Amino acid sequence: MPLTDLAARAGSLAKSVTEATRSLAEASNDLLVQPTVRLGVTGLARSGKTVFTTALVHQLTGLHPLPALRASQEGRLRRARLVPQPDDAVPRFPYEDHLAALTEARRWPRSTDRISQLRLEVDYERKSGWRTGPASLMVDIVDYPGEWLLDLALIEQTYEGWSRETIAAAQRPGRAAMAAPWLASLRALDPNQPLDEIVAERASEAFKVYLAAVRAGPEAVATTPPGRFLMPGDLAGSPALTFAPLILNGPVNPDSLGGLMQRRFEAYKHRVVTPFFRDHFQRIDRQIVLVDVLAAVDAGAAALAELEEALDRVLMSLRVGRNTLLSRFFAPRADRILFAATKADHLHHASHDRLDALLRLLVARSLRRTEAAGAHVSTQALASVRSTRETVVHDGPSAFRAVAGTPEAGESIDGETFDGETEAAIFPGELPERPEAVLEGAVPPGSLRFPRFRPPPVSRDALGRPGRLPQIRLDRALHFLIGDRLA
């Protein structure tokens, strides 16, 4: 066997041993020293990840009533506070800044574009089991873009396979117009032409322009990896992010343009995707995937189909299953997965069950596969921060169930443009009782009204502390995700 192969295998074995040792140390600490649950928070673009994490910490640290979280309902939560996070190399989630944006400026915080972390120490009273009395649970919250999660599928792909798949997706009817400029530039490139850095940069830039158009287009939920291309973080300008698919008709010369693209694709996998999986993702115990179903409904059946495909790929990427004693030490899995349809406050509560049913339909295949692996999976319609209240709008003899809130400045409905200060009552429309009807086109694009509302006003108490942010079913989500660890 060549020495290079032996070295590669030795390196791979050393990494495996290192990972197993770390998993053993973390599991031992969890079981024997300090109980800890690592909660992953993710979702595709504009699904409300930052708001969810901020609201979760706000509700627990404020000891606000959470009726569906049994430990809160029974009065067993004693204290929850932020403490230094365990991973010093991971940016801290700027909770205080995001809470101030929600409660003081009444604006939504900026979206998640990198991984970040917080640690909550939750003190509570045990109620069940052979131990009783005071206890504490560390909740490590890991917030990361869902686009990075979809990148995990690249680990098993070749450059040739990824190029074929990406180019084929760009030729679908819903994307062809957006992809036309990029595809035209692609046809002018010969994979075996001499290596030219400027040509490579231009090809990569044209591809990124296409990805940005897909993100901004009617299929706003669409996600085509590499996820870091639109969220580069500290990798901006790196050669590992300077590649693109090519039309390949056979093997490429290593010293050609195609050879360069292939090497950088592999570098992206090994230097960007694999470390994310190894250092963060495979350590997740519980996972919530936030989904903006309403945006997809409003965009039409094509966007819903795109969302269904993306969610299936998300769950395919998750390491899920029932944990045994051995798996907790050597190959920990996420044993609870929650898919949550966000922005439920944009609908009257009578449609919340329909929103949940639609989400369950979108993840039906994934649910069966995940439950077969032994993991607990659930769906929920929620609003991490409720920005509306329910009301009734009368139109002659007819009465419509509506929501009222403060639309953001510039939002427009029926020719009326809002100033960001005036409250308005809006009839958003209703989802069909049968969720399949939405996929069949029963709800024409744009027929529902989902303006972007500002966060609600929150008054301060006598000590200057912000009051409670209203929520819808955030307490149910918390009970599913960590309730069993607070028993």
pLDDT of the residue at 361: 93
How many domains is the chain built from?
3
Same domain, 18 and 86: no
pLDDT of the residue at 246: 98
| pTM confidence score | 0.86
Same domain, 307 and 235: no
pLDDT of the residue at 267: 95
| Last residue in a domain, options 219, 239, 271 | 271
Domain range for 402 is 36-144+280-487
Same domain, 68 and 131: yes
Angle between helices 176-187 and 197-216 (to 10 degrees): 170
pLDDT digits (tens, 9 = 90+) for 6-62: 444 444 444 544 454 554 455 445 555 789 999 999 988 789 999 999 999 999 999
Same domain, 121 and 158: no
pLDDT of the residue at 10: 44
Same domain, 89 and 173: no
pLDDT of the residue at 215: 81
pLDDT of the residue at 331: 54
Same domain, 443 and 308: yes
Neighbouring residues of 149: CB distance < 8 A, sequence distance ≥ 6: 42, 227, 281, 314, 317, 318
pLDDT of the residue at 6: 43
Q: Which residue ranges in the chain fall short of pLDDT 50?
A: 1-14, 16-18, 20, 23-24, 27-28, 325-330
Residue with structure tokens 């069966």?
Answer: 368
Same domain, 27 and 91: no
38 torsion bin: left (phi>0), alpha (psi -120 to 50), beta (else): beta
Same domain, 21 and 63: no
pLDDT of the residue at 318: 73
pLDDT digits (tens, 9 = 90+) for 140-193: 999 998 888 888 889 889 999 999 999 999 998 878 899 999 999 999 999 999
Same domain, 251 and 160: yes
| Last residue in a domain, options 248, 271, 294 | 271
Residue 282's Cβ-side half-sphere holds a number of Cα atoms within 13 Å equal to 20
CA-closest candidate to residue 363, choices 347, 345, 380:
380
Same domain, 231 and 98: no
Which amino acid, residue 31? L
| Last residue in a domain, options 222, 245, 271 | 271
pLDDT of the residue at 461: 74
pLDDT of the residue at 359: 96
Neighbouring residues of 49: CB distance < 8 A, sequence distance ≥ 6: 41, 42, 43, 111, 112, 143, 145, 146, 290
Same domain, 17 and 156: no
Rounded distance between C-alpha atoms, residue 80 and residue 57, angstroms? 9
Token pair listed for 363: 């993840």
Same domain, 49 and 138: yes
